[in-house]
Amino acid sequence: MKRKPKYDHVLFVALMTLLLLPLVQGWLGWVNVKPLAGVTYEAKRPSWTWANYRSGDLAQEAEVYASEHYGFREVSIRLYNQYLWTCYKKTYAHDVVAGKHGWLFYPQSVDDYYGHELLRWHNSTDEARRRFDTEVKYMNWVRNILKENGIELMMFMAPEKGQLYPEHLPDGEKDTTTFNACNYFAQRFEETGFPFIEMTRWFQQMKDTVSYPLIPQTGAHWVFPCVYAADSLFRYIGELNGTRLPQIQLGPLHEVKNHAIDNDIEHLLNLVFPLRHQYGFSPRAKVSIVADSLCSKPKVLLVGNSFFWAFNTYLPLDEVFDETEFWFYGATAYYGDSLHLTANVNDLNLLEKLIHFDDVVWFTTGNQMSKGTSGFAEKAIVSLCYSDEAIGKVYDHLMDSLKHDGVTMASFDEPIDDSTCHRQLWVQANKLIYSHPERYFPELLADSLPAIRNPRIKEILTIQEIEADSVWLWKLAEYQTVIQNATLEQVLLIEARNRIDGRPLLRDMPDPEAKRDRVEQLVKEMIEEIKPQTELMERIRTMAQEKGITIEEQTELAARWIVNDKINQGIIVL
């Protein structure tokens, strides 16, 4: 009997191994593979129910889950991407556009150069001009109000890669019916005297005098050259404040190759092999900060986009600014040493933040100016001009109208509880208000700066004055013991209102013990006022049961809260 060649067995074993390896890897994950770059949305594991089995949803969910969780998925995707790129210079990465000579761009940068980006955000060029003119007006108003309180506002526009290196862009036809948003804002700011720095024009003049790209060939953001722009920004802030900030001192430049931050667009391609970089080196240098006794270190709030992160990477900002806070796209606040702490911007009080800092910088890039200030100017002018009560009334009115609008309610996902409904109504009202605040606050329709101001501005400034006086602050901490359950923030507010309204200051009180006795007497009197109120006592009884305390204890808590609130509002003066 003739034996089959051994290579048949070898091929069979090799084939079975190739088929089984992904299954074993997907099950055990025994080989560590490099994860894919970019944003991914992981599919949830399907759960079996009779209903989703019969509807076919189970099969669809299982297919999506399996397609994202088979073994060596990352390797197979990188191999396929390498094939597409090597053979056809093609990619399925939505945020990558292949330019000439091996350069990569974000699509927004390409669209900005060819005039298409503006109409992504506006229905027409006339609408865009009207919106931009309104935002320029608001930014000037915000600056004027902040300057009334010793605070400066300016705009900083980082360089736009497509405008800086158009010779490397893919071929395209310019839309001559639109206009460039960055150039338009720069022109309007010059006409109105609003302080700004636009770095694209300066970098265009600089690019032929250096031996390296100012923005990397396969990167989206500037890297070390941001230090040159930072020097201009620091000097300009000093001019606006009438002071001098610490100066930047650079050591000799040296070359750095294949640094991850230099090739952030390239990483989105998810290739097997790195691209060739043919256009100069990526520079680095030692950065030192030089300061003397005449230099000042302001507190600075920067609101803007990812181009700021290069500042934080290459510059010791803590040596330049006394306090730095960065609001990334107005959504996440970064603060503390090296900006390692975070908070949700929606949880912060915009007015308090604007008044707290010495300088506010709107930090953006050329192509993103098509979105204007992304609501910053609108929110800032409303918060500076109108009280919380006035703003709250507008929200209440809008939310009530939306609640009775069938189209709006039908757009919410079902089923929806009261809490979720309230939240979604608030989001809708918020969008309407800050898209066109002049529709709800008529004073903003004027051409000149409104005379109205949020009364909280004086309170915030007075509280800052108190906090800067250690003796005054200590006296208030002592007074805090007079009003039980009162926080130091509440006592500070009471003192600030005393100062603004010309009432006697808690700082000057001769006898804290007598004040404490006065509060306790007011609480006793309030308890007697509460007891005959049947409806209120019923609520107190319910709350006492929920907390597991006696009705008498809950009644005292309610009375003390009412007394503290009246003291806080200035209705009761101790």
Contact 247, 297 (CB under 8 A): no
For residue 22, what pLDDT is reported? 63
Residues 326/118, Cβ–Cβ less than 8 Å:
no
User: What's the total number of domains in the chain?
Assistant: 4
What are the backbone angles phi and psi of residue 169, rounded to the nearest 5°? -75, 155
| Of the candidates 233, 246, 268, the residue with the CA atom closest to the CA atom of residue 37 | 268
Residue 81 has φ and ψ, to the nearest 5°, of -60, -40
Q: Is residue 90 part of a domain?
A: no
Q: What is the pLDDT of residue 560?
A: 84
380 token code pair: 């800032």
Assess contact for 43 and 68: CB atoms under 8 A. yes
Burial grade of 43 (CB within 10 A; 0-12, 13-18, 19 or more): middle
Backbone angles phi, psi at 508, to 5 degrees: -100, 10
Among 396, 417, 445, residue at a domain's last position? 445
pLDDT number for residue 70: 59
Q: Kindly state whether residues 430 and 328 are assigned to the same domain.
A: no
Is 280 contained in some domain? yes
Query: How is residue 355 written in tokens?
Result: 């008044």
Nearest alpha-carbon partner for 301 in 337, 265, 327: 327
Q: How far is CA 294 from CA 203, 244, 249, 290, 404, in A?
A: 31, 7, 17, 11, 61
Nearest by Cα to 146 from 432, 385, 323:
385
Q: Are 425 and 539 found together in one domain? A: no
Residue 107 shares a structural domain with residue 203: yes
Q: Is residue 451 in a domain?
A: no
Provide the residue range defining the domain that includes 15.
Answer: 6-70
Residue 10 lies in a domain: yes
Residue 413: phi and psi, rounded to 5, are: -70, 140
Q: Give per-residue burial for 375-386: e unless 16+ CB within 10 Å, then b.
A: bbbbbbbbbbbb
In this structure, is residue 563 part of a structural domain? yes
Q: Please check whether residue 87 lies inside any domain of the structure.
A: no
Q: Are residues 410 and 520 in the same domain?
A: no
Co-location of 65 and 115 in the same domain: no
Estimate the crossing angle of helix 534-547 against helix 512-530, to 10 degrees: 110
What pLDDT, on a 0 to 100 scale, did the predictor assign at position 189?
97
Domain check: are 355 and 392 in the same one? no
10-residue stretch averages of pLDDT, the chain, 574 residues long: 62 70 60 68 66 67 61 75 86 89 94 95 96 97 97 96 95 94 96 96 92 91 93 96 94 78 85 80 90 93 95 94 95 93 94 96 94 94 96 94 85 75 90 94 95 95 92 82 72 89 82 71 87 87 87 87 76 68
Residues 373 and 272 in one domain: yes
Task: Tell whether 132 and 154 lie within a shared domain.
Answer: yes
Q: Are residues 545 and 470 both part of a single domain?
A: yes
How many angstroms separate the most distant Cα atoms in the chain?
117
491 and 357 assigned to the same domain: no
DSSP 244: B
Do 535 and 517 belong together in one domain? Answer: yes
Residue 81 in any domain: the answer is no
**For residue 379, what are the CA distances in angstroms to 139, 147, 383?**
11, 17, 6
CA distance 516 to 395: 39
In a domain, 530, yes or no: yes
User: CA-based angle 355:362:359, to the nearest 5?
Assistant: 35
Q: Which of 411, 445, 479 is the last residue of a domain?
A: 445
Spatial CA neighbour of 189 closest among 364, 60, 338: 364
Contacts 24+ apart (CB under 8 A), 529-538: 529/559, 530/555, 530/558, 530/559, 530/562, 531/555
**Residues 515 and 478: beta-carbon distance below 8 Å:** no
Among 49, 70, 91, which residue terminates a domain? 70
Element (H, E) at 156: strand 152-158
C-alpha to C-alpha distance for 471 and 469, rounded to whole angstroms: 6
Bridge partners of residue 341, in order along the sequence = 335
Q: What confidence score (pLDDT) does residue 89 get?
A: 84
Single out the residue of 378, 384, 330, 345 nearest to residue 146, CA to CA: 384
Buried b / exposed e across 308-320, counting CB within 10 Å, b at 16+?
bbbbbebbebeeb
Token output for 170: 């893919």
**Complete DSSP assignment for 34-101:** PPPPS---PPPPP---HHHHHHTHHHHHHHHHHHHHSTTHHHHHHHHHHHHHHHH-----TT-EE-GG
Pair (266, 288) in one structural domain: yes
